Amino acid sequence: MHISDPRIVAKLGEIHVELRHSAALAGLTSLGIGGTTDLLRIKKHESLPDLLSLLDANHIPHKFLGGGSNLLVGDGELPWVVLQLVRPQPDVVLDGNLAHIDAAADLGRIITFCAKNDLGGMEGLIGVPGTVGGALRMNAGAYGMQIGSYVREVKLYRAAGRKIEVLRGNQISFEYRHTSFAPDDMMLAVILELPSKSYKEILQGIRICNEKRRSSQPLGQKSAGCIFKNPPGASAGRMIDELGLKGLSVGDARISDRHANFFVNAGHASAKDMLALIADVRERVQKSFAVSLENEVVVWNA
Ligand code: EPU
């Protein structure tokens, strides 16, 4: 979608929103898949109510992009614009055991920064790509921990009330790869309350998780992490593996040889290829195990 009306372009400048025409979303997602659309980069959280009113008044649909690491975007010219926060400097401030973090901050960098300041708890998430906001929205988890356990407070833009709000941790429900945030809520900032641990101890935990991840997941390849959620009491990866599907491909969309719940872009895969592979695997698992796999990856199909 292309914003060409000069009045809208001028207004975006006034409210500190940078407009990038025809951004290639393939370059903004870890899968390296996705078509083009205009990208609106938000420099000030406070502009959001004005920005959303402007888009609504001009019937311009939009989506919020985080780090693009758990996302499959459709091909071609996309029928909505994309909103993304510009990361401020600094993006984290510590106050005792509280870490005040901007949603656009890189998750891995924040875990390392906190570790160096003797704040731990998030060792399991090391190696998970993406922003803190994205991890929060999905309640990212690994190796027995989840980010939701540490949330003290979240600042977010709530599309329903069209305003910026602050929620306490106990007002939000964090479940397995699911939260009570509305789909059109935009994470802006979070306060995490992290346990005190020595840097040495945290580093040891980080090394163990890194090692486990390196040995079981295709880290160097373009992927969106796990494609399907694990059904209760089972592992989607193990089921797909048991069906002998590692290496199965549609075009350049391919099931990883290392972990069967990781589908990689082995070259120039299109969203169409990846969606066909996902549908095929879902059908096979349904037939063999009578289990309906639910997507973990978020799909923005045109
Ligand atoms: N397994 C296989 N073959 C495979 C993959 C896994 O047999 O191809 C077996 C493993 O040997 C193991 C079991 O299945 O016995 C579980 O595998 P793993 O430990 O890799 O965990 P997972 O359930 O597949 C989950 C999360 C990952 C997270 C890891 C580590 C989901 C969907 N996946 O994977 O999260 O990193 O545990 O905690 O919850 C993600 O969210 O994108 C993600 C990758």
Catalytic pick among 123, 209, 282, 296: 296
CA dist 181 → 13, 41, 272 (Å): 29, 22, 29
Task: Dihedral sign for Cα 261, 262, 267, 269, please.
Answer: positive
Q: What's residue 133's pLDDT?
A: 98
Residue in the block written with tokens 């163990």: 208
Q: What's residue 134's pLDDT?
A: 97
Query: Would the pLDDT of 99 be above 90?
Result: yes
Ligand 1 centroid to Cα of residue 268, in Å, is: 26
Q: How far is CA 32 from the centre of its chain?
A: 14
Catalytic pick among 152, 177, 213, 284: 177
What pTM does this model have?
A: 0.96
Indicate if ligand 1 lies below 6 Å from the C-beta of 125.
Answer: no
Query: Would the pLDDT of 84 be above 80?
Result: yes
Indicate if ligand 1 lies below 6 Å from the C-beta of 129.
Answer: no
Indicate if ligand 1 lies below 6 Å from the C-beta of 63.
Answer: no
Per this entry, what is the length of the chain? 302
**Rounded mean pLDDT, 32-43:** 98
**Rounded mean pLDDT, 76-94:** 98
DSSP 147-183: GGGGEEEEEEEETTTTEEEEEEGGGS-EETTEESS-T
CA atoms within 13 A on the CB side of 264: 16
* DSSP strand pairing (81-85 vs 36-42): parallel
Query: Would the pLDDT of 8 be above 80?
Result: yes
Query: Would the pLDDT of 164 be above 90?
Result: yes
Ligand 1 centroid to Cα of residue 124, in Å, is: 13
State how far the Cα of 14 lies from the Cα of 166, in Å rounded to an integer. 26
CA dist 150 → 44, 49, 154, 233 (Å): 26, 28, 11, 25
Average pLDDT, the chain: 97
177 noted as active-site residue: yes
pLDDT range class, residue 109, cuts 50, 70, 90: very high
Indicate if ligand 1 lies below 6 Å from the C-beta of 68.
Answer: no
The answer to whether 54 and 162 are in contact (CB under 8 A) is no
For residue range 237-254, what is the model confidence (pLDDT) as tens digits? 999 999 999 999 999 999
Query: Would the pLDDT of 302 be above 80?
Result: no
